[in-house]
Amino acid sequence: MEVEVISRERIKPSSPTPSHLKTHKISLLDQLFPPVHVPLVFFYLNTQTTSPIPDVISKTSVSLKQSLAKTLTLFYPFAGKIKDHLSVDCNDEGVYYVEAPVDNNLSEFLSKPDVRLTQHFLPHDQSMDQMYPTGISLVMIQVNFFKCGGMALGMYCCHRIIDGHTCITFVRAWAETAQGSGTEVIPRFVPCNSLFPQNPSLPKDSTLLMWPSMFNQSKYVTRRFLFDASALNSLKAKVASSSSFVPTRVEALLGLIWKCAISASKSRFGFQRPSVLSLAVSLRSKFFPPPSQFAMGNLLWSAVAQSKADTGTELHRLVRNLRDATSKINGGFVRGIQGGEGFSKVTECLKELRELYSNEGANYYACTSTCNLGMYDADFGWGKPIWVTLGGNEDPMVMNLIYLLDTRSGGGIEAWVNLSEEDMAEFERDHELLAFTSLDPSPLHINTPSSHTVCARM
């Protein structure tokens, strides 16, 4: 499969950003996130069967650019660049935007997707290679047109100020604008800054304390696993049969993945090592009164669960550990880290994390989830995406990361797991894991509409 970039440009806001909004100050919570770019790829079928494919591609290209320009007037920081570790220069320079034809049909790629190839659908800017970049775009987009008229919309969003909720809100607003009916989304960038005021004295390496497993020099491999709704219901029932509570589908699945990762490590080393799992928890539902659903920025905190070397790793026990860890991130916790006094609470939490992550003999894992964020609602006027997935990533520093996404069918979860080569060799053949999952299935077989045959034509 060949993907050749044929155009590069900057899409600027259709209206200039007011002078009083030219500098966006990031929040204290934003300071805790690294300036890494998170990849997502949205795949769309060509449903315009009565039009010639060149006309479909041309019309789609114009619509995407015009609607993006309008959307950026609302999401004005996204059209700027990182100024320094405390602010974004909202200079209206524009979003880095690339178009590329693909010498293949979408159905051919989706029939047997290769996670390593999805990185070809993503844009690349050399400044992304820096650990603490300044002058880098916050959002970068690559639109890939298949021979059949289908499309892969690949994008990078900088985690410095964009969490999963913010990213999906942006894409949905862009899609609504493309349909011509306008968008009801009115993003608000100020609340996070006022609730969690930035503090220049926060050490720049604090991200290493919040997300330690992300930065590692070992060689790793990534695998994609699908857990359908039926499997997740069975998994939840299995946990509930040995517990006093019924877990959520994310809790049950994450418990299983953690259990199998611990088992893989034990097979590799010959003994059970202590294990720590951090999970990004949304704070949006923890506020009272709740903030606007359109509050933008990182409203996340890391819940940390532990499994000691001398304790059991039964599934219900690990899920209980996860439930106990996330329950600590409640309304009282959120109130404690707000305002000017919140900085002392944050530094106290970071100190505790530093101690927790000081054991060199332990395994550290991190999980982030975009489940329940409505990724599949992004309809630009030609139907909802057939598949939304994480773009392939070859960053050598990222390891032991678990990324959870909804499936199109509803109720299922797609898990991208990366581990060391040695651990993955054991992990992917774990019998308990294989009882609930399938490895790299075709998205065409997950509640697919009959129109997928459109992209088989030449």
The full 3-state SS of the chain, as one line of letters, equals CCECCCEEEEECCCCCCCHHHCEEECCHHHHCCCCCEEEEEEEECCCCCCCCHHHHHHHHHHHHHHHHHHHHCCCHHHHCEEEECCEEECCCCCEEEEEEEECCCHHHHHHCCCCCHHHHHCCCCHHHHCCCCCCCECEEEEEEEECCCCEEEEEEEECCCCCHHHHHHHHHHHHHHHCCCCCCCCCECHHHHHHCCCCCCCCCCHHHHHCHHHCCCCCEEEEEEEECHHHHHHHHHHHHCCCCCCCCHHHHHHHHHHHHHHHHHHHHHCCCCCEEEEEEEECCCCCCCCCCCCECCCCEEEEEEEECCCCCCCHHHHHHHHHHHHHCCCHHHHHHCCCCCHHHHHHHHHHHHHHHCCCCCCEEEEEEECCCCCHHHCCCCCCCCCEEEECCCCCCCCCCEEEEEECCCCCCEEEEEEEEHHHHHHHCCCHHHHCCCEECCCHHHCCCCHHHHHHHCC
Q: Are residues 225 and 349 in the same domain?
A: yes
Asked, for residue 159, whether it belongs to a domain, the answer is yes
Same domain, 237 and 270: yes
Q: Is residue 177 located within the same domain as residue 286? A: no
- CATH number of the domain to which 128 belongs: 3.30.559.10
Closest CA relative to residue 418, chosen from 275, 219, 273: 219
pLDDT number for residue 445:
82
CB-CB contact of 109 with 146 (8 Å): yes
Residues 136 and 254 occupy one common structural domain? no
Catalytic: which of 159, 165, 316, 452? Answer: 159
Whether 184 and 209 map to the same domain: the answer is no
Active site residue 440: no
Does residue 108 lie in a domain region? Answer: yes
Catalytic residue among 89, 92, 379, 395: 379
Domain count across the chain: 2
Tell me which residue range forms the domain holding 39.
7-189
Catalytic residue at 379?
yes
CA–CA distances in Å: residue 345 to residues 26, 210, 213, 229: 18, 14, 23, 39
Q: Is residue 196 part of a domain?
A: no
Asked whether residue 241 is assigned to any structural domain, the reply reads yes
Per residue of the chain (458 residues), give pLDDT as tens: 899 999 999 999 999 999 999 999 999 999 998 888 999 999 999 998 888 999 999 999 999 999 999 999 999 999 999 998 899 999 999 999 999 999 999 999 999 988 889 999 999 876 555 555 578 889 999 999 999 999 999 999 999 999 999 999 999 999 999 998 777 888 988 767 788 999 999 987 787 666 665 555 567 889 999 999 999 999 999 999 999 899 999 999 999 999 999 999 999 999 999 999 999 999 999 987 777 788 899 999 999 999 999 899 999 999 999 999 999 999 999 999 999 899 999 999 999 988 888 888 899 999 999 999 999 999 999 999 999 998 875 554 568 999 999 999 879 999 999 999 999 999 999 999 999 999 989 998 875 433 333 343 33
Torsion angle defined by CA atoms of residues 447, 449, 455 and 456, in that order, rounded to the nearest 10 degrees:
80
Same structural domain, 153 and 39? yes
Any domain includes 379: no
177 and 213 share a domain? no
- Do residues 185 and 288 share a domain? no
**Are 333 and 241 in the same domain?**
yes
**Residue 183 falls within a domain, yes or no?**
yes
On whether both 216 and 265 belong to a single domain, the answer is: yes
Q: What is the pLDDT of residue 116?
A: 84
**Using omega within 30 degrees of 0 as the cis cutoff, is the peptide bond preceding 289 cis?**
yes
Distances (CA, A) of 231 to 150, 227, 235, 237, 446: 31, 6, 6, 10, 14
Q: Is residue 352 one of the residues assigned to a domain?
A: yes
Q: What is the pTM of this model?
A: 0.93
Asked whether residue 105 is assigned to any structural domain, the reply reads: yes
pLDDT computed for residue 447 by the predictor:
56
- Picking from 154, 189, 224, the residue at the C-terminal end of a domain is 189
Residue with tokens 């609504």: 176
Do 155 and 219 share a structural domain? Answer: no
Last residue of one domain, picked from the residues 133, 154, 189:
189
Phi, psi of 216 (to 5 degrees): -155, 150
**Residue finishing a domain among 189, 221, 243:** 189
Same domain, 248 and 275: yes
